[in-house]
Amino acid sequence: MKRYGSLEVRKLVVTTNAVFLALLSAWYLLAGSWSTETITPEPDMGDIHEPSSSSGSGTFEFETVMGIFMQDDPSTDWTGFEYTNNNFGLINRSYPTDDPSSSSTTTAPWLRFAQYLHHLTTTSPANVQYKLLYLGRHGEGAHNVAEAKYGTAAWDAYWSKRDGDGELFWSDARLTETGKRQALAAGEFMGEMISSTEETEKGKGGKGGMPAPQAYFVSPLFRCLQTANVTFGSLKLPAGSKPFRPIIKELLREVLGEHTCDRRSTKTLISTNFSEWRFEAGFTERDELWEVDHRETAEEHDVRTRAFLEDLFGMEDEEDSGREGKEDGMVYVSLTSHSGAIASFLRVLGHREFALPTGGMIPVLVKATRVR
């Protein structure tokens, strides 16, 4: 996978925009008018959000499948939303794959949704993939405490550029005790949600039946490594589940540059503390992405996020090419990262803004269509 430094990202954004504008101008002169054609959602899938404007010239177009989770509904107020009290936000709705002989109110919603998603993944065209992303934000870190202590303005202007204040240390910030409790609470919730089918059927329409992640990816910043370890490391997984052995990915990092809390530790230090975990190919010993004098823009960050998604779905494409069907792929994927990174994912996927508190999680059903 190609790695992107901040300077490369800025050059890529400028070049891509320039080429796009030139082509658009030429098309306009030839056509004489703007097209008013709209994208029509596919039937029986929930609404498909139109591809985001950051689609660029990648291999895939990414869309959020709407109408599945409360979090993608504009009427849901994210400021007070408790995902742990709302079945992770899954809407208790009907699906085309529901068994007509049983009531939707007596079968666990997650079991019915999983059956529907299995249908989508196994019957979709060869160039289409679906994945459910479990996006998780790290628990509270020392830097979060410091920003609350000094205020955002003073934090951004001065304190964020220092390693600490003599009382708190936030360079590659670690979790606070509150952050560890938040990560533990997320783990307890996930344990309830992925309880076995047999246990779920006993309680019928309640929690449980949510498929466990089939792959785990995590940002290399310490607060995310700690969060993923506490949340998933001791989780009792249903029989047949993929083991928790995450891959550490640079592209999942928080907004790059200036803030020392977002400057990562060495590969050696990370490996010493998380010796069983895997690094992506090409992971360098020292941080080569963080710059002291440039804070990554949202546009630059979205290029990085898109590169991660291209890599994730491209990986699945390579696996699919050697087998019949797509039923064995990575459909349920856990990503442990940051508020800024999750905001970028939602932008690239065409999802509405939905800010998460520290330790929060959000599920997003993604449709990816190979276009090149």
**Options 61, 63, 140, 254, the catalytic residue:** 254
- Token pair 């990370």 is found at 270
Both tokens assigned to 171: 């360079």
> Can you tell me whether residue 45 is helix, strand or coil?
coil
Instruction: Report yes or no: 243 and 213 within 8 Å, Cβ to Cβ.
Output: no
Task: For residue 254, indicate whether it is catalytic.
Answer: yes
Q: Which residues contact 162 (CB under 8 A, 6 or more apart)?
A: 260
Task: For residue 143, indicate whether it is catalytic.
Answer: no
CB atoms inside a 10 Å sphere around CB 192 = 15
Both tokens assigned to 325: 């069907």
Instruction: Report yes or no: 150 and 170 within 8 Å, Cβ to Cβ.
Output: no
E strand or H helix that includes residue 247: strand 247-248
**Options 49, 63, 138, 300, the catalytic residue:** 138
Q: Which residues contact 339 (CB under 8 A, 6 or more apart)?
A: 137, 254, 355, 356
Cα separation, 263 vs 258, whole angstroms: 8
Residues with catalytic annotation? Answer: 138, 254
